[in-house]
Structure 1
Amino acid sequence: MRSSRWYLFAWLVVMLLATNGQAADDGNLVISAHLLQRLQDEGRTRVLVRLRENAEPVTASAAARRSPGSKSSVKHDWRERRQRLERQLERKAPGRLRSFRHLPLVALDLDAKSLRALRDSNDQLAVFEDRRHRPALASSGAVIGSDISHLNGYTGEGSFVAVLDTGVAVDHELFAGKIIEEACFSTTSSLQGATTMCPNGAESQFGPGAAAPCTDAGCDHGTHVAGIAVGDGRLVGEPSGVAPDADLIAIQVFSDSRDGPVAYTSDIIAAMEHVLDLQELYGYRVAAVNLSLAGDPVATARECDVYLGAVSPEKSAVDLLRNAGIATVAAAGNDGEANAFASPGCVSTAIGVGATSDSDAVASYSNRASWLSLFAPGSAVRSSTYAPATYGNYSGTSMATPQVAGAIAVLRSAAESAVLDGAGDVSRLLAAITATGVPVDDTSNGRTLPRLQLDDALQHVERGELPVMEILDNDRDGVATSGGFDLFSTVGSYRGRFLAGRIPLGGNAFRFPLPESVAGPMTVQAWWPPALGGRVSYALFTGTALHGGVIDQGEGGDAWQSLGTFDFAAGGPAYIEFRDDLGERLVVDAVRVKTADMTAITTAVLPAAESGQAYQFQLMAVGGTDPVSWSVSAGALPPGLSLSGGGLLSGVPDVAGSFAFSVTVTDALGIADTVDFVLVVAPPPNTPPVVAVISPADGSVVDEGVALTLSATASDAEDGDLGAQISWSSDRDGALGSGATRTISNLSVGTHRLTASVSDSAGATAAHAVSLTVVSVPVGGGGGDVDVGNAIDFSTVTLL
């Protein structure tokens, strides 16, 4: 038996390999040597077959001519081809077969008979392995700003997030009150030891209970992921997900296997089609599909997008949803690769997510590469696990991914509520998120990528405009306008591949036409691999003006390098062209054009000034195109102050008070931002009053009952003469009245401490005290004391 199988496969290999060197769209069936080897070793394998489309084969070159948001006007008859294939396989190789509603794909177990049937038909374009994916295993809300977003009323209301995972415990308290749709797509494949985990035992199931979590170890993964995306913990004292008011589509896509739960590509794609059906059938506004699962990491986006010359099934499914306004958010994987990440996240039109710690360090386990979309916190994230109220802390890119999916739901909901242009455009939502992300430096490869910061992304909604970002890559965009180029791969190029101009140098040029979405002030950036090029020129046409410049591709590289900010005409035939007319090597990789960072004043509050004292404060702004100029656009500065064109507020204010005025900063393209300020000018520090007692002198002695004049002076730098406010007091007799001069005669006998005190209008006080002794006076006629201190000499007394 094995011998006959070997001879059969040897014949098929010869027949198939004879055509595999040709293009996929020339009428030949394309299958990889890897799959043929597996067929020889195992006898059968699980595959996805792409059907040929009648008028326009779906090849890499055809896909490159279509933008992700465009809808082809070509009517395809692949459904008829699918029906023919089903009939043919039923006759020649009966077995299980899964077809798809929206995509020209068929999934089946491939053996020698079915391979022969495919080879005899002209309805198929390429055969792909039905690859298996695995799960990509309370403080993150504060890190990404979702807690602030919730306080500001941005909670994702009206949006749906679809979680394709190991199932979701929908009766967990975090999902109470949500609209929840459930489904299951789970393959049974005896040849690979895989068994469906749909609760009904079939390979698909719909309705309540269909997405019940599988029972293997790790099957709480999907519940944890869903909680991060849309869980609502506000009423139960637990952390909420990023979009607590968003609703949930829960789809179980894993099968049980000898190696644990695995998700087949065909099940994932079937689930993605089901999400689209729900949107079309019920009008659900599905913001994102979350795929916290990953296959093997790959080093170029081309490997994810194209296989043997045909568009990969994963890319087709991602684009299908993106054309309908649904983002596919997928985990980068947990292999720790610095220059590769996993499918389906590596698809160029998916949103691939890597993981960071709460301190914004790249997680050691996270995959990443040049075209990774962004990072989100993925370490020790607390979320739901088992119903009804169990929680746990898990780590992985699986935990980072639903934060981005939830963020897209929040951002889309807010943009739709504000009726913003582009609210349903995945590219513009992603542009808002990446433009405001916190830069994270990856020390392993020297790159810097953004980390999700949702509250900052929502500022675009508050400003009333979503940004535009277009990335043009040599793999799918642009054309050589002269000379010739060769294709190379290196980890330092964007998406892994670049073009190099051929020798002789000097006549090579490559142009990227810019899409119509490029309009208004836009920043243009270029990416090239490091140390492989030289000094080259570029010409940039904005639709109305031609700009030029020189860049040194021997410097920098492996990062986005700014060429400047330009004002593009709406609908103009804009382009950027690179040339080696300086005689040095030209490398062509990628161009990014994005809405210019709007000029924004970052100074929020002015420090107080003091009358009579020098004042200096530099106003600050970010974004815009240099040079910028500052001006007072409303109100008036405090007298004595001025604002320079560079934003320096300085001078010596000479009037105290509160002054309201507006300041405007304007960049070189005329983009302006205005902020209202209030500057408080405080009066100078108060000088305390001065008081001095003139009379009586310190240490004076007076007889009891003698009229005594109290006299003092008091003055204040701000209030002037305060004599009338002087208060007099004695430590023996208490208050003695007020005034600069006062006469008293009723002081008690004894030693007094007389104090003159005064207060100014600011409440400052001063006092001056003197000592005074009051003595008693003897009274004649008996009684009283007799002074015996001196003898009387009667000899000197004359009697009259």
Structure 2
Amino acid sequence: MISNRTNIGFGLLLVLCLFSIAPAWAGGKGPAWDALPAAAMTDTGLARVIVGLTVADYDALAARSAQYKVVTPDEAPKNRAASKAADAALEAAIASSVNAVLASLPKSAYTVYRTYSALPFVAVAVNAKALEALQAEPGVTSIEVDAPIPLPLPVPSGSGAKGESGAASTAPPQLPTSGNLNWGPPKIGADTAWSRGYTGAGWTVAILDTGIRRTHEFFAGKTIVEACFSANSNCPGGTKTAYGPGSAVHYANTYTGYDHGTHCAGIATGNKADGTVAGVAKNANLIAVQVFSIIPDTTPWIGSYPSDQLAGLNYVYSLRGSTSIAAASMSLGGGAYSTPCDSASQKAGVDLLRSVNIATTIATGNDGYCSYISSPACISTAIAVGASTSGDGESYFNNWNPNLQTLFAPGSGIYSSTGASDTSYASWDGTSMATPHVAGTWAILRQNRPNDSVGTILSRVLAGGTPIVTGCGTGLSKPRVYIPAALEANASSTQLLPLLLDQ
């Protein structure tokens, strides 16, 4: 969620408003045909929907699969044959349910455009008769509109805090006295962690975003795993799905936000060879997952379909037996939510990753709300990340809700890699910039204690964080990440909190 871009226009605002109501349908049997938003319609007149399924023994099969946690760096992946068998059994059960539901639909009334190996959903484009049939099908648990989520509308760049006069000041943020040109990592104590040998080495951060410029100098020497999921067939080769080197390449610079993923990836794991700038987990590796499509419009733009986000989460889960994944970072979202949006399909992906000790960090949004945050950050089991300033104020653009936001991280004037060239950098503002700070933090803390659950690490982060009071005038606060304190957090002093957080 970047805040230094030019206005994308009324068309995006309309799409954002339409998306904000979509998750409300996910817990039931979907909307009437004439209530479907235009953003969910294909150029052939079909409607994109994500269908939740009843899968026989799903809970037991998923639990059997999830007993094989993410592989740690000192664990031999070759000994994970039982994990592959459990995953195959789960995938077969889901496929059986998909086939049963599709068999109940009128012929030529639908097109399947996304299936999932570990999550009980299928994404289909349907006509009115097929939608009606799905609503009547006993094996269908939910129908969710699948409309693209744009990168959030921009806000003026600045370092001011919410509630301060001149919050949108263009003055640069205060830089640290250490050598890192990016003030964020030193502010959260990453440099202190590095001096103790905790750099994220051996661990990997997944960035679900607009792709990556893998040849950028900031990523030199890193292992980078790539994948692409695009409902509009914008992956390399004009496909909906692609894997391997080059599959997560970002779009052309004619699209607003094209290099958003490159900036976020740099914040989490970047490391310039001369030492002048580094991300949080500077020796961690990357999984770059491109989950955005080109959306046709008067001025084409890039947006992310929830079905592709779900595919990205599913993909990260599939890699847990071969890659030591600390966290998945999602700097995207839209809408305004004051209560948990747990009917959203992405919750199943967040929960599945959490069950194998992988955190999902998600940006709260850049609208400056005082009672609302965006979806999917409003999922109760996600780590919802708000943005803070170098002076430990709430960034003026941050979306705040005391019951939904989890914590703060630096998000104003954050310096990182961009897609213009292999040596280009820029300072951007947004909760998008705050979110990968937390994902990188997770890699450092996993290196410190490789077998800790998401709830246990979160308890350490919350216990050791620096309180930041919201600028919304309520006097309420959330902690800003501070890694050294989280490293020192005594497990016995927070032993009840992880149990509550893992519920």
Map of 2:119 onto structure 1: 103
Tell me, in whole angstroms, the C-alpha distance in 1 between the residues paired with 2:217 and 2:398.
Answer: 30
Match for 1:449 among 473, 478, 486?
478
Map of 2:55 onto structure 1: 53
1:355 pairs with 2:387: yes
Deviation at 1:454, TM superposition (A): 1.2
Tell me, in whole angstroms, the C-alpha distance in 2 between the residues paired with 1:56 and 1:156.
Answer: 34
Q: Give the SS at the match of 2:191.
A: helix
Deviation at 1:295, TM superposition (A): 1.7
Q: Give the SS at the match of 1:142.
A: helix
Map of 2:139 onto structure 1: 123
Matched letter for residue 116 of structure 1: E
Query: Cα gap change, 1:290/1:433 in structure 2, threshold over 3 Å: closer, same or farther?
Result: same
Instruction: Please list, as runs of the form range in 1=range in 2, the aligned pairs for 1:609-758 lying within 5 A after superposition.
Output: none
Work out whether residues 432 and 466 of structure 1, in 8 Å CA contact, stay in contact via their aligned partners in 2: no
Tell me, in whole angstroms, the C-alpha distance in 1 between the residues paired with 2:424 and 2:251.
Answer: 17
Work out whether residues 354 and 400 of structure 1, in 8 Å CA contact, stay in contact via their aligned partners in 2: yes
Map of 2:31 onto structure 1: 32
Tell me, in whole angstroms, the C-alpha distance in 1 between the residues paired with 2:57 and 2:320.
Answer: 28
Match for 1:231 among 270, 273, 285?
270
Map of 1:496 onto structure 2: none
Map of 1:274 onto structure 2: 315
Deviation at 1:466, TM superposition (A): 8.4
Q: Give the SS at the match of 1:261.
A: strand
Deviation at 1:425, TM superposition (A): 0.2
Tell me, in whole angstroms, the C-alpha distance in 2 between the residues paired with 1:389 and 1:469.
Answer: 46
Work out whether residues 131 and 295 of structure 1, in 8 Å CA contact, stay in contact via their aligned partners in 2: no
Work out whether residues 428 and 466 of structure 1, in 8 Å CA contact, stay in contact via their aligned partners in 2: no
Matched letter for residue 216 of structure 2: H
Query: Cα gap change, 1:46/1:278 in structure 2, threshold over 3 Å: closer, same or farther?
Result: same
Q: Give the SS at the match of 1:446.
A: coil
**CA deviations over 1:614-665 (Å, ceiling 9, x no partner):** xxxxxxxxxxxxxxxxxxxxxxxxxxxxxxxxxxxxxxxxxxxxxxxxxxxx
Instruction: Please list, as runs of the form range in 1=range in 2, the aligned pairs for 1:7-156 lying within 5 A after superposition.
Output: 30-32=29-31, 36-38=34-36, 44-54=46-56, 77-89=93-105, 91-136=107-152, 138-156=182-200
Query: Cα gap change, 1:130/1:94 in structure 2, threshold over 3 Å: closer, same or farther?
Result: closer
Tell me, in whole angstroms, the C-alpha distance in 2 between the residues paired with 1:248 and 1:142.
Answer: 21
Instruction: Please list, as runs of the form range in 1=range in 2, the aligned pairs for 1:243-642 lying within 5 A after superposition.
Output: 243-257=281-295, 258=297, 260-280=301-321, 282=322, 284-301=323-340, 304-306=341-343, 312-370=344-402, 371-386=404-419, 387-416=421-450, 423-444=451-472, 445-460=474-489, 467-468=494-495, 470=497, 517=499
Tell me, in whole angstroms, the C-alpha distance in 2 between the residues paired with 1:184 and 1:98.
Answer: 13
Matched letter for residue 408 of structure 1: W
Tell me, in whole angstroms, the C-alpha distance in 1 between the residues paired with 2:122 and 2:262.
Answer: 30
Query: Cα gap change, 1:204/1:459 in structure 2, threshold over 3 Å: closer, same or farther?
Result: same
Work out whether residues 197 and 214 of structure 1, in 8 Å CA contact, stay in contact via their aligned partners in 2: no
Match for 2:221 among 169, 172, 177?
177
Tell me, in whole angstroms, the C-alpha distance in 2 between the residues paired with 1:125 and 1:220.
Answer: 37
Tell me, in whole angstroms, the C-alpha distance in 2 between the residues paired with 1:135 and 1:465.
Answer: 41
**CA deviations over 1:539-565 (Å, ceiling 9, x no partner):** xxxxxxxxxxxxxxxxxxxxxxxxxxx
Deviation at 1:469, TM superposition (A): 5.1
Matched letter for residue 443 of structure 1: G
Work out whether residues 358 and 377 of structure 1, in 8 Å CA contact, stay in contact via their aligned partners in 2: yes
Matched letter for residue 258 of structure 2: C
Deviation at 1:347, TM superposition (A): 0.6
Map of 2:21 onto structure 1: none
Tell me, in whole angstroms, the C-alpha distance in 2 between the residues paired with 1:354 and 1:102.
Answer: 30
Map of 1:11 onto structure 2: none
Tell me, in whole angstroms, the C-alpha distance in 2 between the residues paired with 1:40 and 1:146.
Answer: 45
Which has the bigger relative contact order, CA under 8 A and spacing at least 6? 2
Q: Give the SS at the match of 1:409.
A: helix
Work out whether residues 110 and 125 of structure 2, in 8 Å CA contact, stay in contact via their aligned partners in 1: no
Larger Rg: 1
Match for 2:206 among 150, 153, 162?
162
Q: Give the SS at the match of 1:125.
A: strand
Deviation at 1:54, TM superposition (A): 3.8
Higher helix share: 2
Tell me, in whole angstroms, the C-alpha distance in 2 between the residues paired with 1:269 and 1:377.
Answer: 27
Tell me, in whole angstroms, the C-alpha distance in 2 between the residues paired with 1:142 and 1:39.
Answer: 45
Query: Cα gap change, 1:90/1:290 in structure 2, threshold over 3 Å: closer, same or farther?
Result: farther
Query: Cα gap change, 1:77/1:101 in structure 2, threshold over 3 Å: closer, same or farther?
Result: closer
1:198 pairs with 2:235: yes
Matched letter for residue 184 of structure 2: S
Deviation at 1:214, TM superposition (A): 1.2
Matched letter for residue 412 of structure 2: S
Tell me, in whole angstroms, the C-alpha distance in 2 between the residues paired with 1:110 and 1:468.
Answer: 49
Deviation at 1:239, TM superposition (A): 1.1
Q: Give the SS at the match of 1:79.
A: helix
Q: Give the SS at the match of 2:288.
A: strand
Query: Cα gap change, 1:171/1:414 in structure 2, threshold over 3 Å: closer, same or farther?
Result: same
Map of 2:245 onto structure 1: 208
Work out whether residues 469 and 593 of structure 1, in 8 Å CA contact, stay in contact via their aligned partners in 2: no
Query: Cα gap change, 1:466/1:50 in structure 2, threshold over 3 Å: closer, same or farther?
Result: farther
Deviation at 1:237, TM superposition (A): 3.7
Query: Cα gap change, 1:57/1:406 in structure 2, threshold over 3 Å: closer, same or farther?
Result: closer
Work out whether residues 94 and 118 of structure 2, in 8 Å CA contact, stay in contact via their aligned partners in 1: no
Deviation at 1:334, TM superposition (A): 0.6
Deviation at 1:372, TM superposition (A): 0.9
**CA deviations over 1:422-474 (Å, ceiling 9, x no partner):** x33000111111111101111313211101111221113xx676844548xxx
Map of 1:64 onto structure 2: none
CA RMSD of aligned residues (A): 3.2
Deviation at 1:383, TM superposition (A): 0.3
> What fraction of aligned residue pairs are identical, expressed as a percent?
36
Tell me, in whole angstroms, the C-alpha distance in 2 between the residues paired with 1:335 and 1:406.
Answer: 25
Work out whether residues 110 and 126 of structure 2, in 8 Å CA contact, stay in contact via their aligned partners in 1: no
Matched letter for residue 325 of structure 1: N
Deviation at 1:133, TM superposition (A): 2.3
Tell me, in whole angstroms, the C-alpha distance in 2 between the residues paired with 1:325 and 1:222.
Answer: 23
Query: Cα gap change, 1:232/1:322 in structure 2, threshold over 3 Å: closer, same or farther?
Result: same
Deviation at 1:277, TM superposition (A): 1.0
Tell me, in whole angstroms, the C-alpha distance in 1 between the residues paired with 2:56 and 2:314.
Answer: 22
Matched letter for residue 53 of structure 1: V
Q: Give the SS at the match of 2:187.
A: helix
**CA deviations over 1:191-238 (Å, ceiling 9, x no partner):** xxxxx33122100100010011111232111000000000012x2343
Q: Give the SS at the match of 2:238.
A: coil
Query: Cα gap change, 1:469/1:229 in structure 2, threshold over 3 Å: closer, same or farther?
Result: farther
TM-score (norm 2): 0.76
Map of 1:740 onto structure 2: none
**CA deviations over 1:656-711 (Å, ceiling 9, x no partner):** xxxxxxxxxxxxxxxxxxxxxxxxxxxxxxxxxxxxxxxxxxxxxxxxxxxxxxxx
Matched letter for residue 228 of structure 2: C
Work out whether residues 227 and 290 of structure 2, in 8 Å CA contact, stay in contact via their aligned partners in 1: yes
Tell me, in whole angstroms, the C-alpha distance in 2 between the residues paired with 1:376 and 1:214.
Answer: 28
